[in-house]
Amino acid sequence: MPYSRSSRRSNSSADYWPGFVDAMATLLLVMTFLLSVFMLTNFYVTQEVSGKDTALQRLNRQITELTELLALEQTQKQKLEGSLASLSASLAASDGEKSRLQGLIGIESSKAQAASTQLSGVSSTLNDQKKISSGALARVELLNHQMAALRRQIAALNATLDAAQTRESTNKSRIADLGKRLNVALARKVQELSRYRSEFFGRLRQVLGDRDDIRVVGDRFVFQSEVLFSAGSAQLNPDASTQLNKFAQALVSLEGEIPEEINWILRVDGHTDASPIQTPQFPSNWELSTARAISVVRYFTSQGVKPTRLMAAGFGEFKPIATGDDPETNRRNRRIELKLTNQ
């Protein structure tokens, strides 16, 4: 009997264990499935957010490039409008000459009509008198000569008027053709300069990397003055050559790639903060900002950049990029800006 009770207890324990193992295995599979779903969902959400950030950055770059193209096209449009105004003035002068010639023709025609009337009167008198004196004959001959001369003058004036009208038509055609050619040339040069500017910015971004003291603002590279100069000085720091050499190398390489007919320059702009300076060397911030821009230009020429492709300008404290008088605002306003543009 004891043996029988022991056997029943053993069988009862063995019956519960497989069910418990199955339940645990099922729970483990459910948890594994839920974890896989969570990881896949997280992966797709991360990819979607990353794709939107990349598209936003690409759109920002395109907006910047379109802003540059618009500024260049507006400058070229002003030049074209000046040329068209000059040609319009020439056409106005031609119209004045045409009006003057028409007035002369009218005067000469009146004279011819008066002469014809006079000749008719003389002929009637001669018919009535039936006797023409030698003086009257001479007068008739003179009137005939005058009428012939008037006809020749009228013919010459008509020819001059026709020539003026022909020139006017030719000028209008030339203006239309010139406008078309200027638009085509302008669009081509803007596209070419924009392409080289994009290549130049792309190279320098790769070389410079992400730095707090060198920033890209629109179509310009901005150096904080502390990177290149000591306070109140226009002498380049020894460490300045490290960064300026990268610009110089990119600029020399760009000179060999841009065609000669594209007029471009690198403009170096010097800016200071609003703190006044008055030293024997620099009586004001004008002199300091200009001297710093000239120092950068001279350094570029020493590295092989053509002087004809460089321009230095000083703006003093009058073109700030931040307002205020705290140290951080002053630091941001003390800067050197490099901009690739057309002449």
Same domain assignment for residues 152 and 250? no
Same domain assignment for residues 216 and 268? yes
Same domain assignment for residues 148 and 176? yes
Phi, psi of 275 (to 5 degrees): -70, 125
Instruction: Report how far residue 59's alpha carbon sits from residue 299's, in angstroms, rounded to the nearest whole number.
Output: 36
| pLDDT score at 186 | 56
| pLDDT score at 95 | 77
How many beta carbons lie within 10 A of that of residue 338, not counting itself? Answer: 20
| pLDDT score at 334 | 94
Same domain assignment for residues 222 and 156? no
Query: Domain span at residue 300?
Result: 210-342
| pLDDT score at 98 | 78
Same domain assignment for residues 321 and 216? yes
- Quick check: is 338 in a domain? yes
| pLDDT score at 203 | 59
Residue 178: CA count within 13 A, CB half-sphere: 16
The end-to-end CA distance of the chain, in Å, is 115
What order do you get walking across the sheet with 310-314 strand by strand? Answer: 214-217, 220-224, 335-342, 264-271, 310-314
Same domain assignment for residues 175 and 217? no
Domain count of the fold of the chain: 2
Same domain assignment for residues 185 and 214? no
- Quick check: is 143 in a domain? yes
Round the CA-based radius of gyration of the chain to a whole number and report it: 45
Predicted TM-score of the model (pTM): 0.45
Tokens of 166: 């022909």
| pLDDT score at 146 | 81
Question: Region 256-279: what's the mean pLDDT?
Answer: 87
Tokens of 289: 């900002």
Instruction: Report how far residue 65's alpha carbon sits from residue 58's, in angstroms, rounded to the nearest whole number.
Output: 11
Same domain assignment for residues 116 and 78? yes
